[in-house]
Structures are given as C-alpha cells and as structure tokens.
Amino acid sequence: MAEHSFQAPKGTRDFYPTDLALRRRIEHAWRSASVDFGFDEIEGPTFEHLELYTAKSGEGIVSELFSFRRAGGENDYALRPEFTPTLARMVAAKAGGLPTPVKWFAIPMMYRAERPQRGRLREFGQWNIDLLGLEGAAVDVEVIGVAILALERLGLTARDVQVRLSHRVVIGRVLAALGVAAEKASDAMTLLDRRDKLDAAEFQKRAEALGLSTEAVQRFDAVARAAQPLAQSFDALAKSIGVEVDAFSALEEIRVAAEHAGILEWCTVDVGIVRGLAYYTGTVFEIHEISGAERAIAGGGRYDGLVELFGGPKMPACGFGMGDVVLANVLSDRGLLPKDPATLLPQPDAFVISAGGDADRFVAPLVRRMRMAGLHARTSYKATRNVGKLLSDANKVRARFAIIIGAEIADGRVALKNLASGEQQWIALDDVVTACARIACAS
C-alpha cells in the first residue's frame, strides 16, 4: 500500500477538533444570519447527473469537475462544483407549488478538480443564499444584507471588508456610450472581468480589438478601474468616463435601498465587477477584504433567467455564494481568530471527581443524571484519586465546575467548586444537577 493512501487527498482537509470548531463557528454565523433574515435551510445531493452542469456550461466544464460513472452503471455523475444548478432543479421540480418569495439558504460542500492554491481547495464549504420570486433593488440589498450580518457576527467591520457592486444594465449602458457595438458587448464584459489579470498593454490591445478608438480605449480603461463609495454621487464618475449620469440609475436605486437598510458604509461601486458567469442579469457583487490581499470572500447577484433555464417557471432571483476557505484566511489576516483555538471547543459544565473509597460508586450515576439533564459532564479515566491532580485535569478541559465526591457523601453532600472563581460550596447530591443546570442556563 503506497504511502500517499494514508493522507487526505490533495486539496481536501482533515478537520481535527479545533479545525472543525473554527469551521462550525463560521457556519454558525452563516446559519444564524440566514435564519434571522427569514431564510429556510435546504440541501441537495453531493453528486448530480453530469448533464446538470454540461447543459448550462457546455462540455468544457468537465475538466474542472470530479466526474464518474458507477461500475456497470449507465449514468455519469459529478461532485457538485456549485449549488445553483441543484437549487434551480429543486425549484423547477416544485414548479408553481412553492410559496412566493422562496427564501432558501444552504451550506453544502463543493468540489472542483483544480490545482489547489491559497484560498482555493478541491473540497470546500460554501454558504448559498437565494431569494426567488421578487424583483427590485430592496431585494438585492436584503441579499447583500444577510452576507454583511454574518460577517459582522464574525467580527468584521466595513473597515475590514467591502461589498464591491456593479450592475449589468449599467455596464451595458456605459459600454454602449463608449461606442462598443451590441454584438461586442459580451466580449467587452469578458475583458472587464479579466482586467486585473492582464497587463496594461495587453488590456489596451484587446480593448482596441473591440473596435474602440484610442480615446475610447482610455475611457474603457477608466471604467474598468472606476471605484468609489456607493454613498457618493455618480456625477463625477459619469463625467470622467463620458456618459450621462442617468446610465447609473440602477445603482442609484441600490444606493437608496442600502441607505434605508443601514448598510451603505459597507458598499463600494466598482463598475468593472462583471462576475464571469453568463447568467447574471442585474446587480452583481463581490465581497473583498479591503486591501485586496485575498480572493473574493463572496460573489453573487441577480439571475432572473436561471430557473427557467433548468425547466422551471419564469422566476426572478438574486443570491450569492460565500466560501469557507477565503473567509477563514481573512479572519486570520484581521486577527479575528482566537489565539488558543481550544477555546472554540464546547466547555464542559462539570467535571466529576471521586476522592476514592465509597465515593467511587456515585460517579457514574451522577454523570448519567447530568448528561440526561442536557449538561456536558466529564470525569477522569485515571486510576488516581488525588483531588488536586484531578482538579488540574478539570481546569485543563476548561470545565466550569468541579463536583468533588468525598467522605461527606455519607451525609449525602458533595463539594461544588466554581473553577473560574475558586469558590466552593457544599450541596446535597440530589440538588447538584439542578444547581449546575441553573447556572449553565444563566451563562
């Protein structure tokens, strides 16, 4: 058996307890923000029929997928590379039977057969938010708002991350004003999308290939790099790239809604944000760590034609995906992860200690009663009955209380020691579960 078989496959992760506790913390922020916004959680299969992906993206996508066929089976499958096709399939399957709006979230694992690199693994967790059945800037802003709430709960502020926004209609009007012919609009968006990956000369060459004059290429370059707070008026921007301010009206509506929803300071307009995927139809956005040091934390927007594409009813929709890998990097960069990751693990309510002798036989029943009452109770597996050593073990696992059963058990009493304050009280054995439950509840 080759040595590599004892390791996790390249680009996947083993989550030991503290690793998983961090992932669960992120998931908890995602889930609680989703629920507080009134989204319901869904899930789908980890693998889908391969055609679900090739139908929309063509055969070219196959090389980016982990695809397979069961021995002797007829169907090709693929591990899901994104959740949106599953979501569209699930909406389509219920056709008109779902209440409107549909507000769904999911926290699935995703799979991409790419070369692993910083922020990009072969298996990763992704939070998906989708709000279907409604149009309008207020809905787009609600979708952005739920992302912001989760990031806030993880300790991030508008000085750490920004939502970089654009709008397909605005981009279209700006490109038209620059003289890009309708049939070249799609090529121009692709070029905008790749602007950070090309050097100035290459960008200029490709912009010229769109049939633009030298002067228009300069304005196109300005568009590609135009960014300003959403709070700021579009007058100067419109003037600098030579279009009517009216071209920005769709983003103007987003601004009004964002101000109303109290998230204006989190938003930056970045006209060059296009989002590669062909299915966006309106607002598009990415969330970035402010220095740009990491990849995008999230990306999404409005995709009004998608459900129909998968055989469902015509249904407007807006949503995003947020991955766990980049987000964990950003939290680390910003010093928002605990120095001692063990503090992320669940804290025991009580550690039960026997001082030996007759006390021993009271341990297992007490531990069972505590656990039945919903308390996290531990005891020692060691042979020692040295109370000092056992108290030190209780502290090591960060127990709130130690319950020490000693000779006083003859009178039905045990010692309840608060390990944070050091306070110790005598309490009837029969009352100790209730006492711990009361304190655990209050904390």
Quick one: which of 209, 231, 293, 364 contacts its own copies (CB under 8 A)? 364
41 touches its own copies (CB under 8 A):
yes
Nearer to its own copies, 134 or 277 (CB): 134
Of residues 174-213, those binding its own copies (CB under 8 A): none
Q: How far apart are CA 192 and CA 271, in angstroms?
A: 9
| Pair 382, 423: CB distance under 8 Å | no
CB of 388 to its own copies, least distance (A): 19
| Pair 296, 284: CB distance under 8 Å | no
89 touches its own copies (CB under 8 A):
yes
389 touches its own copies (CB under 8 A):
no
Of residues 271-330, those binding its own copies (CB under 8 A): 310-311
Nearer to its own copies, 227 or 373 (CB): 373
33 touches its own copies (CB under 8 A):
yes
Q: DSSP E strands: which ranges in 59-108?
A: 67-69, 76-79, 102-106
CB of 11 to its own copies, least distance (A): 9
Q: At which residue do the structure tokens 């996947």 appear?
A: 12
CB of 187 to its own copies, least distance (A): 27
8 touches its own copies (CB under 8 A):
yes
90 touches its own copies (CB under 8 A):
yes
| Pair 230, 209: CB distance under 8 Å | no
Quick one: which of 29, 30, 77, 433 contacts its own copies (CB under 8 A)? 77
| CA distances (Å), origin 428, targets 78, 362, 404, 432, 435 | 60, 13, 12, 6, 10
Quick one: which of 28, 40, 190, 332 contacts its own copies (CB under 8 A)? 40
6 touches its own copies (CB under 8 A):
yes
CB of 287 to its own copies, least distance (A): 18
Q: How far apart are CA 312 and CA 307, in angstroms?
A: 5
Nearer to its own copies, 38 or 276 (CB): 38
Enumerate residues 6+ apart whose C-beta is below 8 A from 294: 118, 119, 288, 326, 329, 330, 333
Enumerate residues 6+ apart whose C-beta is below 8 A from 349: 370, 375, 376, 377, 399, 400, 401, 436, 440
Q: At which residue do the structure tokens 């304190």 appear?
A: 439
Q: How many CB atoms lie within 10 A of CB 295?
A: 18
Query: If we measure between CA atoms, which residue out of 375, 400, 404, 367 comes closest to residue 389?
Result: 404
* Choices 2-10, 171-179, 202-210, 294-302 (CB under 8 A): range interacting with its own copies: 2-10
CB of 72 to its own copies, least distance (A): 8
Quick one: which of 276, 292, 346, 412 contacts its own copies (CB under 8 A)? 346
CB of 63 to its own copies, least distance (A): 6
